[in-house]
């Protein structure tokens, strides 16, 4: 279905028309966990998409949920001498997208003992092999475990991701840089990412570290407006909601819709560890909770599945959304 600029023009126009029909069919088939489209894609819009398809590149973004790389996940990887083990099965699907996103729920650190139990996480540096094997391009580092290894872990994580060619959003060496977000270029378009956490301390700190982006709506809207000057398509990551609840909390709805209102096109939510609904809102799409991508909460069956949300963009417009379920490895 990809349009190759080397093809003759008539071939590209033919593919474009076929593509617009398939968008219409896909939208009819797309499983809806929530209400129908608030603003259905109109025939006029489909004709517009068909007319512009020949010059608008197709870009596929793929969103996965929480990734925790210690405890049982780290132990099994060590036993098998394969730090990429947790991503071996998922990698072919994750690698296929132009940009793959996930929430990194455990900071990396090269200090201290390995973490086998408990709620204060740490990923061993070699576990980054899994993210690389899976072709994960960008992660959110703004979540309730961002400070689990203190200031050292926050800084080490940013450095280690960057050295390994993985972009990050939601934390930064300074508050200003954290709120700037990150931009990846694909197919001549700039894809910007911002990330925010409802809670940055998980009960371990009383203070706030300004280098972790909090869910302040006014500040987020300023960030989105600023990033739109540097990016064609903006995604906002949101680590929020009630853990283990399949119902969307009003805090999530308010923040996500405010992000789209401010100019973001996609909101990728995570933190509840279970799957929650998604919706098309105005010109954007909101995934309220993608559940777990790689986690070890096998005592709770609902946490064993997550969503992989594929957003296909034609130029800057959302052409198709496909959501599939994935069982995270033990
Ligand atoms: Zn969380």
**Residue 8: which domain range?**
1-55
Between the CA of 18 and the centroid of ligand 1 the distance, in Å, is 42
Residue 291 CA to residue 66 CA, distance in Å, equals 6
Burial class of residue 296 (count of CB atoms within 10 Å of its CB; 0-12, 13-18, 19+)? buried
Is 91 in the same domain as 207?
yes
Residue 275 · residue 248 · CB < 8 Å:
no
% of the chain residues with pLDDT over 70: 83
CATH number of the domain bearing residue 306: 3.60.21.10
pLDDT digits (tens, 9 = 90+) for 109-154: 999 999 999 999 999 999 999 999 999 999 999 999 999 999 999 9
Report the pLDDT averaged over residues 21-46.
47
Is 23 in the same domain as 79?
no
pLDDT digits (tens, 9 = 90+) for 223-270: 999 999 999 999 999 999 999 899 999 999 999 999 999 999 999 999
pTM: 0.84
Is 138 in the same domain as 260?
yes
Report the sign of the C-alpha dihedral through residues 155, 159, 161, 166, in that order: positive
**Among candidate residues 291, 324, 323, the one with its CA nearest the CA of residue 306:** 291
Q: What number of other Cβ atoms are within 10 A of residue 152's Cβ?
A: 13
Tell me which of 9-13, 104-108, 190-194, 212-216 is least confident.
9-13
Structure-token pair, residue 207: 């203070």
Pairing of strands 278-281, 266-270: unpaired
Between the CA of 241 and the centroid of ligand 1 the distance, in Å, is 9
Is 98 in the same domain as 3?
no
Is 26 in the same domain as 70?
no
Angle between helices 9-29 and 43-53 (to 10 degrees): 140
pLDDT greater at residue 189 or residue 298: 189
Q: What number of other Cβ atoms are within 10 A of residue 163's Cβ?
A: 10
Between the CA of 265 and the centroid of ligand 1 the distance, in Å, is 23
Confidence at residue 74, expressed as pLDDT on a 0 to 100 scale: 95
Between the CA of 272 and the centroid of ligand 1 the distance, in Å, is 7
Confidence at residue 30, expressed as pLDDT on a 0 to 100 scale: 42
Cα angle 113, 330, 141 (rounded to 5 degrees) comes to: 60
Is 108 in the same domain as 13?
no
Give yes or no for residue 29 having a pLDDT over 50.
no
Q: How many separate domains does the chain show?
A: 2
Is 7 in the same domain as 105?
no
Is 259 in the same domain as 128?
yes
Structure-token pair, residue 195: 């990330």
Is 4 in the same domain as 83?
no
């Amino acid at each position: 279905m990809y349009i190759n600029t080397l093809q003759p023009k008539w071939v590209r126009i033919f593919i474009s028309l076929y593509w617009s029909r398939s968008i219409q069919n896909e939208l009819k088939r797309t499983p809806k966990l929530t209400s129908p489209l608030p603003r259905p894609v109109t025939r006029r819009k489909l004709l517009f998409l068909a007319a512009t398809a020949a010059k608008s590149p197709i870009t596929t973004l793929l969103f996965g949920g929480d990734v925790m790389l210690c405890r049982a996940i780290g132990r099994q990887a060590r036993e098998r001498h394969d730090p990429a083990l947790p991503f071996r099965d998922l990698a072919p699907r994750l690698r296929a997208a132009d940009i793959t996103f996930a929430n990194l729920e455990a900071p990396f650190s090269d200090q201290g003992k390995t973490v086998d139990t408990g709620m204060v996480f740490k990923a061993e540096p070699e576990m980054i092999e899994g993210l690389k094997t899976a072709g994960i391009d960008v992660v959110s580092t703004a979540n309730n475990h961002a400070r689990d290894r203190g200031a050292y872990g926050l800084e080490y994580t940013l450095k280690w991701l960057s050295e390994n060619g993985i972009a990050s959003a939601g934390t930064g060496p300074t508050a200003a840089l954290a709120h700037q977000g990150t931009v990846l270029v694909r197919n001549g378009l700039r894809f910007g990412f911002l990330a925010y956490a409802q809670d940055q301390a998980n009960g371990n700190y009383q203070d706030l570290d300004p280098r972790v982006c909090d869910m302040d709506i006014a500040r987020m809207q300023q960030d989105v407006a600023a990033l739109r000057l540097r990016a064609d398509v903006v995604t906002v990551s949101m680590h929020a909601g009630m853990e283990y609840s399949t119902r969307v909390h009003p805090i999530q709805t308010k923040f996500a819709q405010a992000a789209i209102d401010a100019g973001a096109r996609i909101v990728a939510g995570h933190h509840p560890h279970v799957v929650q609904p998604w919706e098309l809102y105005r010109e954007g799409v909101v995934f309220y909770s993608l559940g777990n991508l790689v986690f070890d909460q096998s005592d709770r069956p609902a946490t064993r599945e997550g969503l992989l949300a594929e957003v296909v963009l034609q130029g800057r417009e959302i052409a198709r959304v496909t959501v599939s379920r994935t069982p995270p490895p033990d």
